[in-house]
Amino acid sequence: MKHRPLRLPFHLFPYCNPRGAWEFLLAPPPPDLVGIVEAFWISRGTVAFLHEKILPQNNIELMFNLARPFGVPNRAPAQRTFRRAWISGMQQEWLMVTPQYETRLPSYLLSVRMPPSGAYRVLDMPMHEVALNVIELDDALGDEVNSVHEQLGNCSEPGRQFGILCEFVRRRINGSRVRLRADALLAIGSLARSHGSHRIEELCRDLGVSRKHLGKLLHAHVGLSPKAYARMFRFRRVVDLVSNDVRKLDWAQLAMSCGYFDQAHFNREFRAFAGMTPGEYAASGSVDGLSVLV
């Protein structure tokens, strides 16, 4: 019996402004991949920019590129060019992405966006091996990438492309040797629910583990230390609140509500993560809370 190609339903969001015209297509994961995958997405079209600041986020992107190459000059070695496929691990500061082509030409990117614990299973490697960097997918996963890239390139229908990505993730999960630790998942869930405000000492006490043990757990499951991961959640909380309503912001109140000691602490942390002040971000016109075009 001939195998029927898998197709996933998706939502399409068109954008058109003085920078260009592009589409963002978003597909939720099927039920069996919930918790492993946050979403599958495609971005295609033409956008003129010198570079794009990708803000740190609470997930890992596994990317396939069907068009032209990009560089990430603020990650060593700076001269690398990313052409076909790569992994962006958990970050503690922004990524600077630069198109290595004339920006009037179109780009075409596809991604599997995963929480770190999902990526741990899909990549079948500790998350500290990809954290704070961008890694060529060929180096991490080998020849399997060639087949997926070729299938994506030979297909023009987005629902089917999402299906190819979905089947790729299922194959990786079926062959994964990783077994997630329950105490690690409890720690991750607690930090997520509290937006990073749960004190690490209290979290260790609640779980009945030492700070050293918790550090080892998150090193493998997330790629960051518990303190750095908590900082990440606080930062993302600020970005979400700013993105929801930039007109009524009380910066001092926002800083306190997100767990910062004072506004100076807030400003310092935000600049470390985003490479800009909170006010500069609010004025940037970011359409998704994840990136700023420059």
pLDDT tens digit sequence for 160-180? 999 999 999 999 999 999 999
In one letter, which amino acid is 96? M
Q: Is residue 123 part of a domain?
A: yes
Number of domains in the chain: 2
| Full domain range(s) for residue 263 | 182-286
Among the residue ranges 118-127, 158-167, 221-230, 282-291, the one predicted with the least confidence is: 282-291
Residues 153, 201: one domain? Answer: no
Residues 139, 28: one domain? Answer: yes
Q: Quick one: pLDDT at residue 3?
A: 59
Can you give the CATH number for the domain in which 150 is found? 2.60.120.10
Residues 103, 189: one domain? Answer: no
Give the mean pLDDT of the chain.
Answer: 93
- Cβ atoms within 10 Å, residue 118: 23
Confidence of residue 139 (pLDDT cuts 50, 70, 90): confident
- Would you give the DSSP letter of residue 215? H
Q: Is residue 6 part of a domain?
A: no
> CB within 8 A of 47, min separation 6: which ones?
19, 20, 22, 103, 107, 293
CA separation for the pair 20, 186 (Å, rounded) = 43
Structure tokens at 249: 């912001």
Q: What is the pLDDT of residues 254-279, one digit of tens each?
A: 888 898 988 899 999 999 999 999 88
Indicate yes or no: pTM above 0.85.
Answer: yes
What separation in angstroms does the CA of 186 have from each of 74, 117, 120, 241, 259?
Answer: 33, 12, 16, 25, 21
In one letter, which amino acid is 144? E
Q: What is the pLDDT of residues 7-22, one digit of tens each?
A: 999 999 999 988 899 9
Strands (E), 95-244: 95-99, 107-114, 134-136
Residues 33, 86: one domain? Answer: yes
Q: Quick one: pLDDT at residue 251?
A: 86
Q: Quick one: pLDDT at residue 104?
A: 85
Residues 40, 107: one domain? Answer: yes
Q: Is the model's pLDDT at 222 over the cut of 80?
A: yes
End-to-end CA distance of the chain: 52
Q: What is the CB-side half-sphere exposure of residue 4 using CA atoms within 13 A?
A: 4
Residues 216, 132: one domain? Answer: no
| The dihedral formed by the CA atoms of 138, 143, 147 and 149, expressed in degrees to the nearest 10 | 10
CB 110 within 8 A of CB 41: yes
Confidence of residue 109 (pLDDT cuts 50, 70, 90): very high
Q: What is the CB-side half-sphere exposure of residue 290 using CA atoms within 13 A?
A: 9
Q: Quick one: pLDDT at residue 252?
A: 87
> CB within 8 A of 270, min separation 6: which ones?
235, 238, 276, 277, 278, 281
Report percent pLDDT > 90 for the chain.
79
Last residue of a domain, one of 139, 174, 209: 174
Q: What is the pLDDT of residues 43-88, one digit of tens each?
A: 999 988 889 999 999 999 999 999 999 999 999 999 999 999 999 9
Q: Is the model's pLDDT at 245 over the cut of 70?
A: no
Q: Is residue 2 part of a domain?
A: no
